[in-house]
A and B are shown apart, each in its own frame.
Chain A
Amino acid sequence: MHHRPRSHVHRQRFPLTAVLLVLMAVTATLLTGAGPAAAAGPACVKPAPRTDDTIHIQGCLSDTRKKPPAPVPDVKINVEDSTGKVVGKGTSNASGVFDVALPGSSIDNLGKTFTIRIDKASLPEGAALRNPKQVALKVSLKLDSDVFVAFPIGKETSTETGVAVQALQLAVGGLVFALLLAMASLGLSMIFGTTGLTNFAHGELVTFGALVAYGVDALPGTISVAGVNVTVAVAIAVAVVVSGVFGWVNDVALWRPLRRHGTGLVAMMVVSIGLSILLRSVFQYFAGAGTHQYSQFSSPKPYHWGSVLVTPKDIFVVLFSATVLLLVTVALQRTKLGKATRAVADNTALSAASGINVDRVISVVWIVGTALAGLSGVLLGMTQGFDYQVGFKLLLLMFAATVLGGLGTAWGAIVGALVIGLFVEVSTLIVPAELKFVGALVVLIIVLLIRPQGLLGRAQRVG
């Protein structure tokens, strides 16, 4: 089987490029088609800034059923401190704006958290909060400046949807997240398989992709092909390529010398922690601590599939990542390089002895793994925005996914990520949303208890 003609490898490569191009064109149309929906701004005008030393909580109530959104006057707002005591009251004026002064000077209030509660009874007839559960907003004061919040008001979305519909809706979000997690985890698992490194800096590789795409996106001007704005599509492509190069640099400049040096696996793990802290600080140095979104980031009108809402962006991300994952796994199964990769993961010494260039295989694994992580970062940034530690927050879930599927196996990482991603989202039916990651981590520990080799790992001694 090792003597397959070389042309076979090339044949695999052609459809990959073609599919990428098609998908990129699809993104461009999906994203640009949705522009106007997001352009409609709220009707409310921010009050002029004041110069005194107090913090005001201000906000705007606008009815999004009308176009342009109409202000909602005479709605009562209470501001409570963290113990639930009401510290300020306000009513929205004719332009829908309310303004509540907090007692005390700004210094007293900095660092505290306040809850802004809307009096549902005072809402006009027929209007309701778009998200009925969001009658209160929590803000914590970090800066000495006024806080401006918004409550979207519109048609009350029915809370009476059945559990099945809710589960299905959550599963859609779960699938998007799971596929992105799978792309990120695949690299982690492949790198572990071939080099034994538990890379704590893998989350930063995800953030790197998101940041590169953001950098391209932030360049002045837009890139258009035949009149279609493809800036984000180009940004995705650049991010994938630059991520791949970054992965190669990681391997050649750091990990390969360490392997030659005979550094132990635990020492390398600690080195990766150092690298993670270093990269995260560098990212924050350049990107700041805030959350970023891409220029063509918008929430296009969702399609109604029965009672389930699906956005074009969801469809694109699912199709794109599923295709990429499929191509990578097929390449691992069928191509000569893929087979060599699995051979190195199985037994490095034996594969070196049988003529496989182990260093080259590991380099390719780093390039592909990092490119996948970067791609996952861009798409994650597209779906929910990103900050300098988007990948770091994902790291434990990636570990959970790889351990669940079986450390070091490619299919395992994908299956594990699908299970974890869906579980995280669908579990919010039962557990509070803020604890959804906790559930996934508990699953990780339980799996280790009963099946340490993971779902797809071979039953061998791992200790």
Chain B
Amino acid sequence: MDWHSIFSQALQQGLGPVAAVYCLAAIGLNVHFGYTGLLNFGQAGFMAVAGYAMSAFVATWGLSFWLGSLVGLVLCAVLALLLGVPTLRLRADYLAIVTIAAAEIIRQTVGSVSLLKYFGGQDGLQSFNATFNDLNPFTGSVGIPGVVSWRPYDFWTLVVCWVLAALCCLVVWALMRSPWGRVLKGIREDEDAVRSLGKNVYAYKMQSLMIGGLIGGLAGIMSALQHSAINPSFFATDTTFFAYTVLLVGGAARVLGPVVGTIVFWFLLSFLDLFFGEATSGTNPLIPDWLMDSNQASLMRFVFMGLALMLLMVYRPQGIFGDRRELALDAR
């Protein structure tokens, strides 16, 4: 077993562009769930809206990349409004069900044959990243020699993603120490108490849903750019669940929780993948063939991920960084 290669590849994933995209998605969820207690299970829907708006603007209509991204983010805010109006007055589980349903509506609609000429059906869209690629200042592979290295385009998306994530963290940090942020945390702890102080809880929740949705939209755009392609399978329900796992590993209601969470999560996930991949390959594999073949090996990481999510929630719901007293997970 080649431990050096396993560790370096896992590290490459942990710091890589995919991890950075999930970091952005989880920062959005942190605003929703960590600070406001809103159980948004439709983050993939926000990602899909912005990602598809940007891609379709460039690839289908031949318009500007920047205009497409802007429209995508505006649409995310509109989606937040549409989702919030019927559900923000309801209990947490209703919001969860409606958001997960909305995300699935969006995914199946953009993937449909009826809209094939706009969104490319199940194959999705390609070749929309020319503007973004032209800005790439890197040439040749970049990284720490012998440890990690990325192709120039990957490194460019990685840098942009992490810079965006840092900016979002900064915004979240500034917002949450403002009076506005304290009201949000108050809503999370006890909605009725905040209401009795004369605050419009509904409006605050709506603003939180919009801000988190916008950050999710950024994640969607970066996800499309990172793959140089977009298709409905990027935005399946599991995408949201992964983002939640990232958030909960790092610790909800902590500014840097999603950052640490995504690095740890993707490191471990690809570590398990590589480990079981190596353990089942070769002529005399570590794990015998009758027990596990290479297809089954690629599933082991999800078995462990599911198990880890359960154990985490039971024994350490505050994640690595969180504060158990602060995080009343049963908030509405």
Residues of A within 8 A of B (CB): 82, 112-113, 140, 198, 258, 261, 263-271, 273-282, 284-285, 288-289, 396, 399-400, 403, 407, 432, 434-435, 437-438, 441-442, 444-445, 448-449, 452, 462-463
Contacts and interface: CB of A to CB of B under 8 A. Distances in A.
B296 A448 contact: no
- 3 shortest A-B CB distances, which residue pairs? A278-B306, A264-B330, A274-B309
Interface of B: 39, 85-87, 89-94, 96-98, 100-102, 104-105, 108-109, 112-114, 120, 122-123, 238, 241, 244, 248, 295-296, 299-300, 302-303, 305-310, 312-314, 317, 328-332
B310 A271 contact: yes
23 contacts: A113-B122, A113-B123, A266-B92, A266-B331, A269-B96, A271-B314, A274-B309, A274-B312, A275-B310, A277-B302, A280-B302, A285-B299, A399-B97, A435-B108, A438-B109, A441-B101, A441-B105, A442-B105, A444-B98, A445-B86, A448-B98, A452-B90, A463-B90
Given A266-B92, A437-B104, 14 more contacts: A266-B331, A269-B93, A278-B305, A278-B310, A285-B296, A285-B303, A396-B100, A400-B101, A434-B108, A441-B101, A448-B87, A449-B85, A452-B94, A463-B89
Nearest to A392: B237
Contacts of B306: 274-281
A274 B98 contact: no
B112 A435 contact: yes
B314 A265 contact: no
Contact of A270 (B98, B102, B313): B313
Contacts of B108: 434-435, 437-438
Contact of B330 (A265, A282, A435, A463): A265
A3 B324 CA distance: 47
Contacts of A274: 305-310, 312-313
Contacts of B91: 462-463
Contact of A462 (B94, B109, B248, B305): B94
Nearest to A281: B302
Residue among B85, B94, B122, B328 with most chain A CB within 10 A: B94
A264 B39 CA distance: 13
Contacts of B113: 432, 434
Chain A binding surface SS class: helix
A219 B109 CA distance: 41
A432 B116 CA distance: 13
Contacts, number: 139
Contacts of A270: 244, 248, 309, 313
Contacts of B120: 82
A403 B94 contact: yes
A459 to B, nearest CB: 14
B303 A278 contact: yes
B192 to A, nearest CB: 11
A400 B94 CA distance: 11
B114 A396 contact: no
Nearest to B83: A445
Nearest to B39: A266
Contact of B105 (A261, A438, A452, A462): A438
A438 B241 CA distance: 21
Residue among A271, A274, A396 with most chain B CB within 10 A: A274
A140 B231 CA distance: 14
B329 A288 contact: no
Contacts of B317: 267
Contacts of B39: 266, 269
A448 B91 CA distance: 11
Contact of B307 (A278, A400, A437): A278
A403 B97 CA distance: 9
A412 B318 CA distance: 36
A432 B101 contact: no
Contacts of B97: 198, 399, 403, 444
Nearest to B100: A396
A396 B103 CA distance: 11
A396 B99 CA distance: 11
B270 to A, nearest CB: 16
